[in-house]
């Protein structure tokens, strides 16, 4: 029986022959394998190989290498810093305290070499690295100078760690030395002392003006320049003088601070006893008010030798009569300037003298002076001193015998003030006898060539 085709039905697509017609579609359905039927064996197929990693090239490879190197470097630096810090804080090799001088102008290498040679440190490479780092970092810091090593004379304690060593040499706190300038030296004598001091360096271009320096004890570092110390002494003198001048007694016959220093220098040379300075100053002020000459021996010496300070022999009658700008036996007022550099105490005493009517003083045999208001009192004091002189002259001095208490003290070789206790005698009279108006006694200190001197002449 023949079936009649449905006119509305579409003919089934015929399967194209192999190699003919449309090509087989490469869709996923076409490639999908049919599920095996029940009981059908499954044929195993090998899995496809994993995709091969692409090799990094160009910038990516460079960045990766740098990151790896940076990690290793950071680890190495951290380990090195840890070890260095531990060694930096460990006790050092010094068995005892030691002083080391780092010369001015030393480089980092010089400093490291010096400290290693002196046995302060052992790891010179580590110290060099630390100091070099501080030098570099100081250039980018506002307080860079505080981080760098400095020249000086330093004390390193026993077993000082490298950290302590670096702190010492960067602090600048080098050892302080004391230089004492006695009161009563001339400026020339002070310069001579400073030139002989081996702690100081450099030259002094010129002698400072007389009275422009303040005698005192100054603390300095080894290697301080002499000019710097001179400038410091002058600055201190100006400061102290201004303070004293502002506190002076208002009725003094002094016109300016220079006159205060001038009279204070005479007081300084006349007595070394602090308790006597205000009274000695009073004698001079009283004589100035009465238009009397000061008649002070130290002014004779300064007029003859100037800043050298020492006459080298007793004052003679010719010296007394010889007119100079400073000889207060021949001039009726203060000398034109100071005869030495007075200390603070002498300037204080001169600015605020005792209130007395004394016009004379002479040695009293106890290391001090006997003061008098009248010539008659003064003559008695002179006679008493002559008796003391005669008694001492009658006692033979045994070898090595010490002077009796109150015996006159010789002046120091450089002219610094000392407890001078020189008596007074007029050249044309006998002890105790006055034929002409007498000087102030100790201020005058006039030598009598025919009589025993009370003490060596102050230098």
pLDDT in single tens digits along all 459 residues of the chain: 455 555 555 555 555 554 444 555 455 555 555 555 555 665 666 777 776 665 656 677 677 777 777 777 776 666 556 665 677 788 989 999 999 999 888 999 999 999 999 999 988 888 898 888 888 877 777 666 677 888 899 999 999 999 899 999 998 889 999 999 999 999 999 999 999 999 999 999 999 999 999 999 999 999 999 999 999 999 999 999 999 999 999 999 999 999 999 999 999 999 989 999 999 999 999 999 999 999 999 999 999 999 998 899 999 999 999 999 999 999 999 999 999 999 999 999 999 999 999 999 988 888 889 999 999 999 999 999 999 988 888 876 555 544 443 333 333 334 444 333 333 333 322 222 333 344 555 444 433 333 332 333 333
CB 252 within 8 A of CB 284: no
Give the Cα separation of 324 and 190 in Å (integer): 24
- In this structure, what token pair is assigned to residue 431? 């002890």
Interatomic CA distance for residues 337 and 66, integer angstroms: 81
Q: Is the dihedral of CA 121, 124, 127, 131 positive or negative?
A: positive
Token readout for 424 is 């007074």
What does the DSSP assignment read for 382-418?
Answer: HHHHHHHHHHHHHSPPPTTPPPPTTPPPPPPTT----
Compute the distance between CA of residue 294 and CA of residue 115 in angstroms, rounded to an integer.
61
182 φ, ψ to 5°? -65, 155
Q: Kindly state the tokens that stand for 437.
A: 């108006």
Question: For residue 342, is it left (φ>0), alpha (ψ between -120 and 50) or beta?
Answer: beta
Q: What CATH number was assigned to the domain covering residues 82-171?
A: 3.30.1490
What are the residue ranges spanned by the domains of the chain?
82-171, 176-245, 256-395+404-459
Q: Provide CB contacts within 8 A for 342, sequence distance 6+.
A: 183, 184, 211, 215, 261, 264, 265, 267, 268, 350
CA 49-53-59 angle, to 5 degrees, is 170
CA–CA separation, 175 and 154 (whole Å) = 6
> In the structure encoding, which two tokens stand for residue 340, read together?
């030495």
Q: Which pTM does this prediction carry?
A: 0.69
- What's the chain's Rg over C-alpha atoms? 50
441 beta partners: 361
């Amino acid at each position: 029986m023949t079936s009649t085709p449905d006119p509305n039905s579409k003919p089934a697509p015929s399967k194209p022959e192999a190699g003919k017609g449309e090509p087989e579609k490469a869709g996923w359905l076409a490639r999908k394998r049919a599920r095996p039927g029940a009981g059908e064996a499954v044929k195993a197929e090998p899995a496809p190989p994993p995709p091969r990693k692409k090799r990094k090239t160009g910038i990516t490879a460079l960045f990766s290498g740098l990151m790896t190197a940076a990690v290793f470097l950071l680890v190495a630096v951290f380990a090195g810093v840890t070890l260095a810090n531990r060694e930096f804080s460990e006790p050092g090799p010094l068995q005892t305290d030691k002083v080391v001088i780092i010369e001015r102008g030393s480089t980092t290498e010089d400093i490291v070499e010096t400290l290693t040679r002196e046995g302060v440190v052992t790891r010179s490479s580590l110290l060099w690295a630390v100091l070099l780092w501080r030098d570099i970092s100081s250039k980018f810091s506002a307080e860079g100078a505080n981080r760098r090593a400095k020249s000086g004379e330093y004390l390193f304690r026993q077993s000082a760690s490298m950290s302590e060593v670096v702190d010492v040499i960067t602090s600048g706190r080098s050892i302080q030395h004391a230089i004492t300038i006695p009161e009563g030296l001339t400026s020339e004598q002070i310069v001579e002392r400073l030139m002989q001091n081996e702690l100081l360096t450099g030259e002094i271009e010129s002698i400072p003006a007389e009275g422009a320096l303040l005698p005192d004890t100054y603390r300095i570092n080894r290697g301080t320049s002499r000019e710097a110390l001179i400038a410091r002494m002058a600055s201190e003198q100006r400061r102290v003088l201004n303070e004293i001048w502002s506190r002076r007694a208002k009725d003094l016959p002094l016109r300016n601070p220079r006159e205060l220093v001038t009279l204070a220098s005479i007081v300084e040379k006349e007595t070394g006893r602090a308790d006597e300075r205000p009274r000695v100053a009073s004698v001079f002020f009283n004589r100035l008010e009465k238009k009397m000459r000061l008649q002070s021996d130290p002014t004779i010496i300064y007029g003859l030798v100037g800043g050298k300070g020492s006459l080298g022999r007793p004052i003679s009658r010719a010296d007394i009569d010889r007119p100079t700008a400073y000889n207060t036996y021949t001039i009726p007022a203060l000398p034109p300037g100071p005869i030495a550099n007075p200390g603070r105490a002498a300037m204080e005493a001169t600015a605020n003298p005792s209130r007395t009517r004394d016009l004379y003083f002479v040695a009293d045999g106890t290391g001090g002076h006997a003061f008098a208001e009248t010539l008659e009192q003064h003559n008695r004091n002179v006679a008493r001193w002559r008796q003391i002189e005669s008694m001492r002259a009658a006692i033979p001095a045994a070898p090595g015998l010490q002077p009796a208490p109150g015996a006159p003290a010789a002046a120091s070789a450089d002219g610094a003030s000392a407890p001078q206790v020189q008596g007074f005698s007029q050249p044309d009279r006998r002890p105790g006898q006055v034929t002409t108006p007498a000087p102030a006694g100790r201020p005058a200190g006039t030598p009598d060539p025919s009589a025993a001197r009370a003490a060596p002449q102050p230098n």
